[in-house]
Chains A and B, each alone.
Chain A
Amino acid sequence: MADNQEEVKMKKTVLFGALTAAGLAAGAAAAGTLDDVKARGTLNCGVATGLVGFATPDANGEWQGFDVAVCRAVAAAVLGDATAVEFVPTTGKTRFTALASGEIDMLARNTTWTFSRDVDLKFTFVGVNYYDGQGFMVPKDLGVSSAKELDGATVCIQTGTTTELNLADFFRINGISYEPVPIETNAEAQQQYLAGACDVYTTDASGLAATRAAFEAPNDHVLLPEIISKEPLGPLVRHGDNEWGDVVRWTLNALISAEELGITSANISEMSAGTNNPEINRILGTEGTLGEMLGLDADWAAKAITAGGNYGEIFEKNIGESTPIGLARGLNAQWTDGGLLYSPPFR
């Protein structure tokens, strides 16, 4: 095979590399990711191998989705081109090593921000792009209106996830019993639940909504009101490269602030000419030197917002109420509307 001569060259480098850099994750991070991305001309962004509404390639092979939009916004901010992204599909098992080994520059794969992932695995979560939580779905015939009435129920649950532990906690706190039916994937869960192998299916509420949307008769099933866990999902980068972390963090904040300030993909060109709101001007780069501080162009945020619209537009397009998934904004509304989205000021 033609990779042979590459492989031969590799053998030498591998030996030296293995000898010199034992802690390679750290070695990868030290290089200055922002410069690497600029030099390479593409952003390597880790996404899911396929998650309804969040990351999936369409019939033409173009990646679409809520997490994908974050990657595109960062690529637009850094490189000025929303299509300059090399999407690296990762599974739940490979995602962290892909990031730690430097194969990807950032991970946007609906990953829950937890203490141990932040501290022990040495990643920096730059923010939250979706506040999720574990919910329950039951058939309407069961006549249950609250999760607390589920005493003795059989529950389909994905093994090896935090949802399993949350479920045990919830039932213990409420002093009721349940019988778990362990399953491996969401697809399997869907079949088991429809076949009646379990009374209840529990996973993240966004996943439940997407699953229910795919049913033949979605209205025969209800999502119970209880949300029993906190699942803040957000993009993350490696520890130790704060400049790059800032770029991703403030690109996400720019999308959120843009919604709060009413900057949309429709009016952005008009607003870029200058407005009488100084914060809008600072975000769009017509006032101040925010872009320069990040090491980017003055109109970095304008490019990021043009890529897919502001946070609200991205939400509506991929998972909002007009899509088959039909998620309400809920916790993911702006703080001014009673949600949790709250971007620090651009100043």
Chain B
Amino acid sequence: MSDTHAQTVAYVRDTQLPPSPPPASEVGLVGWLRANLFNGVWGTVLTLLSLYAIYSILASSLPWIFNGVWTTKSLAECREVLDGVRGGCFSVLTERVHQLLYGFKYPAAEYWRPNLALILLFVAALPVLIYTLPRKLLIITALYPFVAFWLIWGGTILTPLLALVGFVAGYFVFQKFSTSSFAAGFFGAVIVAIVVWTIGGWLIPDNANANAMLRYVPSRDLGGFMLNMMLGVTCVSLSIPLGIVLALGRQSDMPIIKWICVVFIEFVRGVPLITLLFVASVMLAFFFPPNSTVDLFLRVVIMITMFSAAYIAEVIRGGLAALPRGQYEAADSLGLDYPQAMRLIILPQALKISIPGIVNVAVGLFKDTTLVSVISMFDLVGMIRGPILSAQEWNGVYWELLGFASLLFFVVCYGISQYSQWLERQLATDHR
């Protein structure tokens, strides 16, 4: 059978034909276009419509950007220079960029201080954001808030030092007592810290800010995008731990703790942020004696932190609920107590699941910081809506200013989003 045909067939090809190239219409640029853009009648129509839409947007915006004027002193001069040609009046950005970034009252000679604080922020955030770095570096992160406070507000270095000493004292007390009882350690630490701060508060002279190395800048003088960044960073970093505590508290078996957390979360989530901000700026003033007000920045930080902590708590609760029951039981069967089980088994998994949700809240929170403009704080949007648009030279410039603001916010929010996606890929331990 095998060689029946071997003799009868005159010619047998003993090599395979080289594959002929696919038709030109199926590969390369043409193929890609056919597959993706001109796939059938509807595809072609939609592609043409989209191309037309893109063209119209670019045709109107590109000349506006490229004809832009950058060096005049007022909107009227811009219009003179443009002389009827379409073009943006970007001079407002060149003249007022320092106000957009730092607010209008931060002393110009001190701009290096927030700049330095921003650079140090990246250094301090690295050990937290990239978990493969040595854990010792977290000390830098822990020191950062005090350094940043001193850089931005200036004044006497004794204030941040005292705050630091209070925390360190509390930490050591916690270390010493928490081995026997968590509650003893926790409350002992709080009491010791308060004692240190009170005694230290008496020791710092009242006029300490007068001749300090760095000039003292009151909170009222902060503004611009710097204020958005400060509020965003402070509130996000405070609200994540608070949110974790609230989420765990809500799942607790202890009724008082559980109900405190439930009431807090439900109440704060049920109230619009802008209401909380009005309470911070307007109502609280009525409850304090006239000459002793808590700093407005601190009041706003507290309110925004409460707000986002309630949301983050619910996101994390979702992560906790998504864990199979077996994980909790496994922790119990290993003999771990509650803090150990949470720290070593439950939370690492729950937080990993919650990353997209937390980032969602963080990005939303960062943008919500512009709401402080309604309580007359001059953040980026407040600067635009108030001082800059009400200046006689720049009254009427909208697109340029708001475009600049969106650009700044987009850069930061896109950065956060990209980081979170990177983090999710790094932590992907499941085999999907």
Contacts and interface: CB of A to CB of B under 8 A. Distances in A.
Interface of A: 1-10, 13-14, 17-18, 21, 24-25, 27-28, 31, 48-53, 55-59, 61, 88-91, 93-94, 97-98, 100-103, 185, 187, 190-191, 210-211, 213-216, 323-325
A277 to B, nearest CB: 36
A101 B197 contact: no
Interface string B377-407: 0100010011111111001101000000000
Contacts of A31: 290
Interface stretch (B2-10, B291-299, B410-418): B291-299
A13 B374 CA distance: 28
Contact of B290 (A9, A59, A101): A101
Given A91-B376, A190-B396, A324-B76, A4 B197 contact: yes
A98 B281 CA distance: 9
Contacts of A325: 392
Contact of A214 (B197, B376, B386, B395): B395
Interface in B94-135: 95-96, 99, 104-105
A127 to B, nearest CB: 24
A162 B75 CA distance: 31
B288 interface: yes
Interface stretch (B155-163, B240-248, B329-337): B155-163
Given A1-B298, A2-B149, A97-B282, A52 B293 contact: no
Interface string B63-80: 000000000000110010
A52 B74 CA distance: 14
A24 B290 contact: yes
A145 to B, nearest CB: 26
A7 B294 contact: yes
27 contacts: A1-B298, A2-B146, A2-B153, A4-B163, A5-B198, A9-B201, A14-B287, A14-B288, A24-B286, A24-B289, A27-B289, A51-B390, A52-B390, A52-B391, A56-B392, A57-B105, A59-B99, A61-B104, A61-B105, A88-B220, A89-B376, A94-B278, A94-B281, A98-B285, A187-B385, A187-B389, A325-B392
Given A89-B378, A103-B293, A187-B398, A6 B201 contact: yes
- The secondary structure that dominates the B interface is helix
Contacts of A103: 285, 293
A93 B374 contact: yes
B138 interface: no
A325 B76 CA distance: 13
Contact of B79 (A1, A7, A216): A216
Nearest to B396: A214
B194 interface: yes
Scoring A7, A59, A103 by chain B CB atoms within 10 A of each residue's CB, the highest score goes to A59
Contacts of B298: 1, 3, 7
Contacts of B166: 4-5
A53 B392 contact: yes
A280 to B, nearest CB: 33
A24 B104 contact: no
Contacts of A51: 390
- Please tell me the size bucket of the interface on B: 35 or more
A98 B162 CA distance: 32
A66 B282 CA distance: 26
Given A56-B390, A89-B386, A325-B392, A6 B294 contact: yes
Given A1-B145, A1-B163, A4-B163, 6 more contacts: A1-B149, A14-B292, A17-B289, A187-B398, A216-B396, A323-B392
A94 B282 contact: yes
Contacts of A2: 146, 149, 153, 159-160, 162-163
A319 to B, nearest CB: 9
A213 B395 contact: yes
A5 B162 contact: yes
Given A49-B382, A61-B99, A103-B293, A97 B197 contact: no
B287 A17 contact: yes
Contacts of A25: 286
A240 B362 CA distance: 47
Contacts of B163: 1-2, 4-5
A59 B398 contact: no
Interface string B198-214: 10110000000000000
